[in-house]
Amino acid sequence: MKPPDPERLCIHQVTLLERCDFCRSVDCLARNGVFKTAIWRDMLDAVGLKVAKRALADSGVAAPVFCSAGFLTAADPKTFNKALDDNRRRIEQAAELGAKVVVTLTGGLDPTAPDLDAARARAFDGLAQLLPAARATGVRLALEPLHPMVCGLRSVLSTLGDANDWLDQLDADDTLGLTVDSYALWWDPALKREIARAGKRIQSFHVSDWRPETRDVRLDRGMPGDGLIDNRKIRSWLEMTGFDGLIEVEIFSALDWWRRDPDEVVRTIKARYASFL
Ligand code: ZN
């Protein structure tokens, strides 16, 4: 299989977290010839919408993807409704920054009400309630299942099969889509089949790598080529469905890549993109 077209490379801002703020991250990408990013909302909040917009315009970097919205599992109705309002604001921010896709997580399990079925039901209901806001702005909510090890902390939705079931039930493929994150889903024996089933629903493809001896299940992602995931094979499964969208490198790496020189990180991603993606 041939390496992907370099134009499809998108590097998530969060990959440069710790050494860069919002503005430095887009400057670093532009300096290294990468002109697509996914916004990381904490980095956006730190500078505000106005500064962020200007940094994107000045650098020439586009932000077709916004990470992340969702977190809709709170048992307390007041907190749940607040989360819905926050999501509506995030959807507007995303549209304002030119993003077409908002990566949406269910959220983890509320420690005050650890009933997994109820949490899933609330997240499903919350997603349904966000559809009008997404439709009004034209952005797609791309539901992202995460690895079962972060079921408690980040996502009560763990498989692409379950995400496909939710989308079947919500019947809103004009506004809802799916995110395939290789780090979250690579272990699943049903992955190839569920990617085929998802087809055109796939709006966002995140890649990183699983280190054989991960030291932190959320914040020790490897660079493609560091670990065990056959990202190229997963890409081939996506492309069998007609997917020709962005290949988004998203690395949470508190112990390694976040500590390195950001220019070195971007240069390494470009080299790995050609050999491992
Ligand atoms: Zn992801």
For the cut 90, the answer to whether the pLDDT of residue 267 exceeds it is yes
Mean pLDDT of 142-167: 98
**CATH number, domain containing residue 90:** 3.20.20.150
Mean pLDDT of 78-103: 98
Which phi and psi angles does 267 have, rounded to 5°?
-60, -40
Mean pLDDT of 151-176: 98
Dig out the tokens for 197 from the structure: 């089933």
Does residue 74 lie in a domain region?
yes
For residue 219, the CA-to-ligand 1 centroid distance in Å is 12
For residue 206, the CA-to-ligand 1 centroid distance in Å is 5
For residue 231, the CA-to-ligand 1 centroid distance in Å is 14
Give the pLDDT score at 25.
Answer: 98
Give the pLDDT score at 118.
Answer: 97
Contact status, residue 157 vs residue 143, Cβ threshold 8 Å:
yes
For residue 144, the CA-to-ligand 1 centroid distance in Å is 7
Does residue 128 lie in a domain region?
yes
Does residue 132 lie in a domain region?
yes
Does residue 222 lie in a domain region?
yes
The dihedral built from the CA positions of residue 210, 237, 139 and 157, taken in this order, carries a sign that is negative
Does residue 1 lie in a domain region?
no
Q: How many domains does the chain have?
A: 1
Give the pLDDT score at 122.
Answer: 98
Tens-digit pLDDT profile for residues 61-77: 999 999 999 999 999 99
For residue 59, the CA-to-ligand 1 centroid distance in Å is 24
Does residue 248 lie in a domain region?
yes
Tens-digit pLDDT profile for residues 229-246: 999 999 999 999 999 999
Does residue 122 lie in a domain region?
yes
Give the pLDDT score at 1.
Answer: 85
pLDDT band at 136; cut points 50, 70, 90: very high
Give the pLDDT score at 18.
Answer: 93
For residue 247, the CA-to-ligand 1 centroid distance in Å is 11
pLDDT band at 79; cut points 50, 70, 90: very high
Determine the structural domain holding residue 206 and report its residue range: 6-276
For residue 253, the CA-to-ligand 1 centroid distance in Å is 13
Give the pLDDT score at 168.
Answer: 98
Mean pLDDT of 168-182: 98
Annotate the chain with three-state secondary structure: CCCCCHHHEEEEHHHHECCECHHHHHHHHHHCCCCEEEEEHHHHHHHCHHHHHHHHHHHCCEEEEEEEEECCCCCCHHHHHHHHHHHHHHHHHHHHCCCCEEEEECECCCCCCCCHHHHHHHHHHHHHHHHHHHHHHCCEEEECCCCHHHCCCCECCCCHHHHHHHHHHHCCCCCEEEEEEHHHHCCCCCHHHHHHHHHHHEEEEEECECCCCCCCCCCECECCCCCCCCHHHHHHHHHHCCCCCCEEECCCECCCHHHCCHHHHHHHHHHHHHHHC
Half-sphere exposure of residue 38: CA atoms within 13 angstroms, side-chain side:
28
Alpha-carbon gap, residue 79 to 74, rounded angstroms = 6
Tens-digit pLDDT profile for residues 41-54: 999 999 999 999 99
